[in-house]
Amino acid sequence: MTLLFGALALLIALSSGFLGALLGLGGGIIMVPLLVFALGLPIHIAAGASIVAVVATSTASASVYMKDKVTNMRLGLFLALATTLGAVTGAGLTVGASEAALKIVFGGTLLYASGMMWNQMRSTGRSWVPRSNDHIAQRLSLGGSYYDAARQEEINYGLSRSLPAFVICYLAGIESGLLGVGGGGINMTAMNAVSGVPMKAAVATSNFMIGVTAATSTLVYIRHGFVDCFVTAPVVLGTLIGSFLGAQLALRVRGVVL
Amino acid sequence: MELIVSRMLNLGVIICGVTMVSGLTLIWFSGDASNPSGVLSIDWMLWGDPFLQPSHLIFMGFLILVAMPVMRVGTSVIIYVYERDWVYVTIAGIVLTILLAGMFLGIK
């Protein structure tokens, strides 16, 4: 390990942790390509570092979100059922011919969800429109409320299309287990675009879920020898700092900006 | 209750940060060669020889970090028991089981 290498890894992690916490992603989707292309690491070592960093993003920003009670724990736990099951499935799947097929499925899901988000933003000018609970959400009281500091109002929300969101989160979990990312981008779009959870609550809740999901597969990664401590330690340190800052900022800006 | 969890998370992050920084510094200055590749393996961690090298510190940092989400789910089970919300005791309980099962699969 050279000092320069460590510093670069720290810098990459700092920025991806910051963005990750801000957007409710694990930051892995930014970090893995950077580590591979900028530092020339093998992809499985980058994924190993990333999966630990995802837990770091989640934990460091969690304390910030929890103080402000934005995280919807009921919703988070309900969907974490799907993501952790997915993570176990993903970690258990052998990477083979099916990889291409999986990528197409994930890409399609992501496109579908971001398309819905885009439509909604164009038609309403907000990142979110109020919806009422569907019967699953009603039964499990998945809706919630929080105080929005940027808009200075109490926001209440319900959930529609809970079942599709649950299925999408299962896919996100598989992706996480396979690729060493948190699956946060997918969780977030599932909650926000499919079920109508306001952006900030979706970010904070997704943040909780990615930590749980990534923790499920971390030991599997270590077991396979994918976690290199000289890479992972600087990465985790950078992520901790970056995501703490990101979470602070996330509570102060409007959902549309994100 | 949420405040306590939030504090514990902060504490965990700090401890994890400190163990990793000290581990890295020790490796840097002492030239610890016990694990030249840097790749961590569980067998080596548990039964490796010599024991308690600086890289073990880093590994412990990781473990503390990974324990944090487990703690969050665990405390939420307790919170829902306290609130007598049995549906969510079950949901949180299942999540905890899957989480621990995933980890167990990792160790085995």
Q: What is the pLDDT of residue A95?
A: 47
CB-closest option in B6, B23, B42 to A223: B42
Contacts of A231 in chain B (CB under 8 A): 38
A219/B35 CB distance under 8 A: no
- SS3 label, residue B40: coil
The confidence score (pLDDT) of residue B90 equals: 86
| B50 vs B53: CA distance, rounded Å | 7
Asked whether B88 and B35 are in contact (CB, 8 A), the reply is no
Q: What is the pLDDT of residues B1-47, one digit of tens each?
A: 667 777 778 788 888 888 877 777 777 666 555 555 555 555 555 55
Take residue B11 and report the two structure tokens written for it.
């504490």
**Residue of B5, B25, B26, B40 to mutate when probing chain A, most A C-beta within 10 A:** B40
Residue whose C-alpha is closest to residue A223's, from B102, B13, B64: B102
> Which amino acid does the sequence have at A182?
G
Q: Could you tell me which residues come within 8 angstroms of residue A15 by beta carbon, excluding any fewer than 6 positions away?
A: A30, A242
Q: Which candidate from B9, B21, B27 shows the least CB-CB separation from A59?
A: B9
Is pLDDT above 70 for B50?
no
User: According to the model, what pLDDT value does residue A123 have?
Assistant: 52
**Set of chain A residues whose Cβ sits within 8 Å of the Cβ of B55:** 229
Spatial CA neighbour of B62 closest among A79, A236, A44, A121: A236
Is A234 in CB contact (< 8 Å) with chain B?
yes
Query: In whole angstroms, what separates CA A38 from the centre of its chain?
Result: 23
Scored b (16 or more CB within 10 A) or e, A33-43 reads ebbeeeeebee
> 């940092």: which residue's tokens?
B61
Query: Nearest CA of chain A to the CA of B50: how many Å?
Result: 17
Residue A101 structure tokens: 């097929």
Q: Pull the structure tokens for residue A147.
A: 């105080």
Kindly determine whether residue A6 and residue B24, on different chains, have CB atoms separated by under 8 Å: yes
Which residues of chain A does B61 touch, with a Cβ-Cβ cutoff of 8 Å?
233, 236
Give the 3-state secondary structure of residue A256: coil
Q: Would you call B16 and A240 a contact, using CB atoms and an 8 Å cutoff?
A: yes
What distance in Å separates the CA atoms of residue A113 and residue A116, rounded to the nearest whole number?
5
- pLDDT band per the 50, 70, 90 thresholds, residue B61: confident
Element (H, E) at A99: helix A98-124
**Cross-chain residue pair A91–B102, CB shorter than 8 Å:** yes
- More confident site: A152 or B103: B103
pLDDT at A96: 47
**Among A44, A61, A63, A209, the residue to mutate for chain B (most B Cβ within 10 A):** A63
Q: With H, G, I as helix, E, B as strand and everything else as coil, classify residue A68.
A: coil
In the numeric block, which tokens belong to residue B13? 């992050």
Q: Is A151 helix (H, G, I), strand (E, B) or coil?
A: coil
Closest among A57, A201, A48, A66 to B13, alpha carbons compared: A57
- Chain A residues within 8 A of B16 when measuring between CB atoms: 56, 236, 240
HSE at residue A56, side-chain half, CA atoms within 13 A, is 35
Of A229, A231, A232, A240, which to mutate for an interface test with B (greatest number of B Cβ within 10 Å)?
A: A229
What pLDDT was estimated at residue B69?
87
Between positions 147 and 206 of A, the ones with CB within 8 A of B are: none
Q: Name the residue among A3, A160, A171, A191 with its Cα closest to residue A93.
A: A171
The torsion angle over the Cα atoms of residues A50, A208, A15 and B24, rounded to 10 degrees, is -50
pLDDT per residue of chain A (258 residues) written in tens, 0 to 9: 466 777 787 878 888 777 777 766 666 667 777 777 778 777 777 777 888 888 888 888 777 777 667 777 888 888 888 888 888 777 666 444 455 665 566 566 666 656 665 665 555 445 555 565 555 555 555 656 565 555 555 666 766 666 777 887 888 787 777 666 666 777 777 777 767 777 777 888 888 888 888 888 787 777 777 777 777 888 888 888 887 787 777 666 555 444
The pTM score is 0.79
pLDDT value, residue A135: 56
Q: Which amino acid is at A78?
A: F
Minimal CA separation from A38 to chain B, in Å: 20
What's the pLDDT at A94? 46
Between CA B10 and CA B8 the distance in angstroms is 5
Q: What is the pLDDT of residue A78?
A: 84
Chain A residues with beta carbon closer than 8 angstroms to that of B95: 77, 80-81, 84, 212
The C-alpha of B93 sits at a distance from chain A's nearest C-alpha, in angstroms, of 10
Distance CA B52, CA B50 (A): 7
Task: Tell me which chain A residue has its CA closest to the CA of residue B43.
Answer: A223
Kindly report the nearest CA distance between residue B42 and chain A, in angstroms. Answer: 6
* Averaged pLDDT of chain B: 75
Query: Tokens 């970056």 correspond to what residue?
Result: A242
What is the complex's ipTM, to 2 decimals? 0.80
A155 strand-pairing partners: A146
Beta carbons of A207 and A71 less than 8 angstroms apart: yes
Report residue B105 as tokens: 């699969």
